[in-house]
Structure 1
Amino acid sequence: MSHDTTTGWPKDFVWGVSTSSYQIEGAAQEDGRAPSIWDTRCRLGKIANGDSGDVACDHYHRYREDVALMKELGIDAYRFSVAWPRVLPKGKGAVNFKGLEFYDRLIDELLANDIEPWLCLYHWDLPQALHDIGGWAVRDSVGWFEDYATLLARRYGDRVKKWITFNEFSVFTLFGYAIDWSAPGITDRDTHLKAIHHVNLAHGAAVDVIRAHVPGAVIGAVHNRQAVWPEHGKEENKHAAALLDEHWNRAFPDPQLLGYYPPMLGQAIEPYVQAGDMARICRPLDFFGLNHYGPIFAKVDDNPNSTWGFAWGEAPADADKSELGWAIFPDAFRDELIDLTHRYKLPIYVTENGCGGGDTVDENGQVIDNHRVTYLKRYTASMHEAIEKGADVRGYFVWSLLDNFEWGSGYGPRFGLVHVDYETQKRTKKASFDWYANLIKSTHGA
């Protein structure tokens, strides 16, 4: 890969930001949108402070203002997701044209500002209507997703060339079907295994659909990958770490890119695999999307009702941590990028990386988020080091453009480069916004 000798970054390196539909759009009951499983989870009182995505950042109405911020930031690309229940309220069947038209407007606004749209089909907001008839636990879900992908490919493929099938497969399946941390909040081993396999099949079906309908499509999937280490390095936690590693890091990219499940999971999932399934899952891709924050620590789960027998452990007491308590290990990011290049042999785009905290507007109307600036400096430096050591990294997207609805944590943690006052919806650029803008400018030779 050629490098720009003036900046030290690969030529045509893509700088961007990422968001997701339920976390920023709001307008949850407007223009024909139906509930998703996350709307339902919010109604059940499972979210901190009783928060919900009903309004979120009101991006549905304020997308032009947000695209203007992206333009000012200087990004090349914007990764966003489509809300399945906004365009297909029942998940299948009748199309909601007002929903489709919103994404037409957003895509056109991005292109008018020289920002490339990177469209993610699924960022966790399964239509509640589909969950009610089995959701990812039933094999019919593969066909539902294939039809949904066809609709979007045919609608937007003339303008969108960068496509992502799913965001963080392991998170929404593990936390939604084995550990009650996410929607739909099921804790059942067999249901979890079925969901893993059906989501993998749905991914493969979507890849084929996009290839068929979008000339020149560049297709990938986004995986969360972090090193899994045994808590305190203890021997008794090593098996738990190995099993969590299979679920967290390998349950999806291995079958999708290598054609097989990792060994322990593969044995458990075998009853649900039919002839021809692995070929349907393992479809040629153009890039690997990586979401990475920091390593995770595993320990044995002594709870007899534990679905898998592993649990999240504590980072070492002396480890650097974010304001949210997440471990900060830039060297682990560097190593992950190098390992991924060797393992899967695809160009890598870092589709999420960022730092959460409790940012506030000071008396001067500023948000001085030095903790985030420091984090981004360290992680982009480690990414640069990985590239120098041979990692094939082609782009980097910060999570996130805006403070937003952070799933079960509600509106407490803030990850944005832009502060959002949720009462007034006022946007305030943070110090990290300026830092990132300057980084991008320097690599563009401006």
Structure 2
Amino acid sequence: MSLLTRRRLLRRAALSATAAGAARSGLAGATAAGTATSTVALSGCDSPPERTTDPEPDRGLRFPDGFAWGAATSAYQIEGAAKEDGRGESVWDTFSHTPGRIRNGDTGDVAADHYHRYAQDLDLMRDLGLRSYRFSISWPRIQADGSGRPNQRGLDFYRRLVDGLHERDIAPMATLFHWDLPQALQDAGGWENRDTAERFAEYADAVFRALGDRVPVWLTINEPKTVVQNGYIWGHHAPGIRDEDAAYLVAHHLQLAHGLAVQALRASGLSGRIGPALNLHPCYPADDSTESAAATRLHDGYENRLYLDSIFKGAYPQDVLDDLGPDSRMVSGVRDGDLKIISSPVDLLAVQYYTPIYVTGDGGTVRKWPTSEAEWQQIYPEGMYDILTRVTRDYGRVPITITENGLPCPDVPGPDGTVDDAGRVTFLRDHFAAAHRAVGDGVPLESYHVWSLLDNFEWAEGYEQRWGLVYVDYASQRRVLKRSAHWYRDVIRRNGL
């Protein structure tokens, strides 16, 4: 495939992908010149209004006993307290304070003030009936400059959080890295520097030993693909670099950091489980042509197999390596033994699903489904079923947890103070049903975390988009359970739909 086609693929990947909780990337130009789009009339939050008083019909779709329903957040998006108790500066502090980077000039300095209001938020989780809470630990709160003696005040905050979860019978699920790299490490080369992976392993070991067996599940790197695509190809996320060759060296070092953290947990003697958190996008040919099929295969290589194959098969996909070429920094940066480290056995896989991708014969993408307020997100619940069954089919029966799935809606309190986000209820209901069907077809799914618990700082979109089950009035920091939160509480109570 030509270099021109590869570059088109990379461009489409950056525009189409990045969930995240993912990667709410702020790509208002997702219909940029050269990107084919189909006409979409509705957004995912334009569902017809439903009467709030109507009871939810029981569909009889029950999940396995012990299934853990939860919600997810990340440190920079909710904690605030950016300069308190010894926390150092992260790349997102630098990026958000750079004029023109974030919509409306927003920053995560205060965010949802969770650092000070965590006890209130824990009570909200308890009242919702959550069984699991997936959060992230701020690396610069533990090591201000990314190395050295851990900051006890930072560790104490997470210890209080974890203890509070246990007191409310909620299982902690901790993510070690959700994009907030200490700025001091970025100044030394960031993820382009192999040494950063070693520093990450030391940080992970410090956290493991501080929190011990109080955390039953650890996730290593959140969405390495988003760091690669949005942080280093398009520059819409921190650190704001545009260098494709650097981007895939970064991909390798993020994967190496994952493997080193897995090894650090094993060496600690702790009994916790550990795995990666990957945003996976099912890729489909946009038409029946052989050209579309070939382009889709390579696109899937960059979107999914680059990360799955290295972890579960101990090798990078050959078609991607061939496309990158032998002179690429990634290919030349892989050392003997690296893939053995990266493929250190894991206990589970965290899957984050937001959108499908439809690939044309020339490497472009098209839209086939309604989009949410995040223009990159097509609403296609069947993609949840497809990606879950594909992972199980191709990589074996590794236990799976869904750690992010959700959408932004234009949530505004009504005259009575309630927030009636009917579109979010419809979205989650349809995705839960798709996940249930996957379980019935043999997928070992053990938990599901809605993105997100709280409205929060949504990366390049600032506070413009609201993804939470709980509405946050940022001026007062008042929390309001949205309609989706009340509905989700009933889902948890009945363990299904």
TM-score, with length taken from structure 2: 0.83
- Superposition map of 1:82-161 within 5 A: 82-161=137-216
Structure 1 range deviating more: 155-164 or 71-80: 155-164
CA contact (8 A) 1:201 1:281 kept: yes
Q: What's the CA shift for 1:413? A: 0.9
Structure 1 range deviating more: 292-301 or 93-102: 292-301
Structure 2 residue corresponding to 1:338, chosen from 384, 389, 393: 389
Q: What's the CA shift for 1:189? A: 2.5
What is the alpha-carbon distance in structure 2 between the residues aligned to residue 229 and residue 184 of structure 1?
31
CA contact (8 A) 1:119 1:160 kept: yes
Aligned to 2:22: none
1:185 is aligned to 2:185: no
Structure 1 range deviating more: 275-284 or 211-220: 211-220
CA contact (8 A) 1:34 1:85 kept: yes
Amino acid in structure 1 at the alignment position of 2:332? P
Aligned to 1:3: none
What is the alpha-carbon distance in structure 1 between the residues aligned to residue 361 and residue 235 of structure 2?
17
What is the alpha-carbon distance in structure 2 between the residues aligned to residue 222 and residue 111 of structure 1?
23
Structure 1 residue corresponding to 2:487, chosen from 431, 435, 442: 435
Aligned to 2:380: 329
What is the alpha-carbon distance in structure 1 between the residues aligned to residue 462 and residue 360 of structure 2?
27
Q: What's the CA shift for 1:164? A: 0.5
Q: What's the CA shift for 1:324? A: 3.3
What is the alpha-carbon distance in structure 2 between the residues aligned to residue 74 and residue 233 of structure 1?
46
What is the alpha-carbon distance in structure 1 between the residues aligned to residue 270 and residue 94 of structure 2?
37
Aligned to 1:362: 414
Amino acid in structure 1 at the alignment position of 2:104? N
Partner of 2:387, secondary structure, is helix
What is the alpha-carbon distance in structure 1 between the residues aligned to residue 185 and residue 270 of structure 2?
30
Structure 2 residue corresponding to 1:9, chosen from 28, 41, 63: 63
1:296 is aligned to 2:357: yes
Partner of 1:158, secondary structure, is helix
What is the alpha-carbon distance in structure 2 between the residues aligned to residue 233 and residue 24 of structure 1?
44
What is the alpha-carbon distance in structure 1 between the residues aligned to residue 73 and residue 272 of structure 2?
21
What is the alpha-carbon distance in structure 2 between the residues aligned to residue 85 and residue 78 of structure 1?
21
Partner of 1:75, secondary structure, is coil
CA contact (8 A) 1:36 1:127 kept: yes
Aligned to 2:49: none
What is the alpha-carbon distance in structure 2 between the residues aligned to residue 299 and residue 202 of structure 1?
34
Q: What's the CA shift for 1:141? A: 1.2
Root mean square deviation, CA, Å: 2.0
What is the alpha-carbon distance in structure 1 between the residues aligned to residue 86 and residue 299 of structure 2?
40
Q: What's the CA shift for 1:69? A: 0.4
CA contact (8 A) 1:171 1:248 kept: no
Aligned to 2:344: 283
CA contact (8 A) 2:373 2:465 kept: no
Q: How has the CA–CA distance of structure 1 residues 194 and 324 changed in structure 2, closer, same or farther, with 3 Å as cutoff?
A: closer
CA contact (8 A) 1:153 1:214 kept: no
Amino acid in structure 1 at the alignment position of 2:394? R
Aligned to 2:9: none
Q: What's the CA shift for 1:211? A: 1.6
What is the alpha-carbon distance in structure 2 between the residues aligned to residue 189 and residue 444 of structure 1?
43
Aligned to 1:306: none
Structure 1 residue corresponding to 2:124, chosen from 69, 73, 76: 69
Structure 1 residue corresponding to 2:86, chosen from 26, 29, 32: 32
CA contact (8 A) 2:213 2:272 kept: no
CA contact (8 A) 1:157 1:213 kept: no
What is the alpha-carbon distance in structure 2 between the residues aligned to residue 48 and residue 231 of structure 1?
32
CA contact (8 A) 2:289 2:361 kept: no
What is the alpha-carbon distance in structure 2 between the residues aligned to residue 238 and residue 134 of structure 1?
38
Aligned to 1:168: 223
What is the alpha-carbon distance in structure 2 between the residues aligned to residue 341 and residue 11 of structure 1?
20
Q: How has the CA–CA distance of structure 1 residues 132 and 298 changed in structure 2, closer, same or farther, with 3 Å as cutoff?
A: farther
CA contact (8 A) 1:14 1:76 kept: yes
Structure 1 residue corresponding to 2:442, chosen from 387, 390, 399: 390
Partner of 1:157, secondary structure, is helix
Q: How has the CA–CA distance of structure 1 residues 24 and 298 changed in structure 2, closer, same or farther, with 3 Å as cutoff?
A: farther
CA contact (8 A) 1:157 1:214 kept: no
1:39-66 deviation line (CA, Å, top 9, x unaligned): 1111112011111100000000000010
Q: What's the CA shift for 1:233? A: 7.0
Q: What's the CA shift for 1:355? A: 1.5
Partner of 2:236, secondary structure, is coil
Partner of 1:107, secondary structure, is helix
Structure 1 residue corresponding to 2:424, chosen from 368, 372, 382: 372
Amino acid in structure 2 at the alignment position of 1:330? P
TM-score, with length taken from structure 1: 0.92
Aligned to 1:401: 453
More relative contact order in 1 or in 2 (CA 8 Å, sep 6+)?
2
What is the alpha-carbon distance in structure 1 between the residues aligned to residue 299 and residue 94 of structure 2?
28
Q: How has the CA–CA distance of structure 1 residues 214 and 7 changed in structure 2, closer, same or farther, with 3 Å as cutoff?
A: farther
Aligned to 1:44: 98
Partner of 1:53, secondary structure, is coil
What is the alpha-carbon distance in structure 2 between the residues aligned to residue 116 and residue 271 of structure 1?
42
Q: What's the CA shift for 1:371? A: 0.2
Question: Identity of counterpart residues, as a percentage?
Answer: 43
Structure 1 range deviating more: 362-371 or 179-188: 179-188
Partner of 2:214, secondary structure, is coil
1:95-121 deviation line (CA, Å, top 9, x unaligned): 221111111111111111111110110
Q: What's the CA shift for 1:252? A: 1.5
CA contact (8 A) 2:139 2:177 kept: yes
- Superposition map of 1:247-258 within 5 A: 247-258=302-313
Which residues of structure 2 form unaligned runs of 5+?
A: 1-59, 325-329
What is the alpha-carbon distance in structure 2 between the residues aligned to residue 233 and residue 167 of structure 1?
34
The size of the alignment, in residue pairs, is 429
Amino acid in structure 1 at the alignment position of 2:337? G
1:174-226 deviation line (CA, Å, top 9, x unaligned): 21112212111111122112111111111111001112225221111111001
Amino acid in structure 1 at the alignment position of 2:341? R
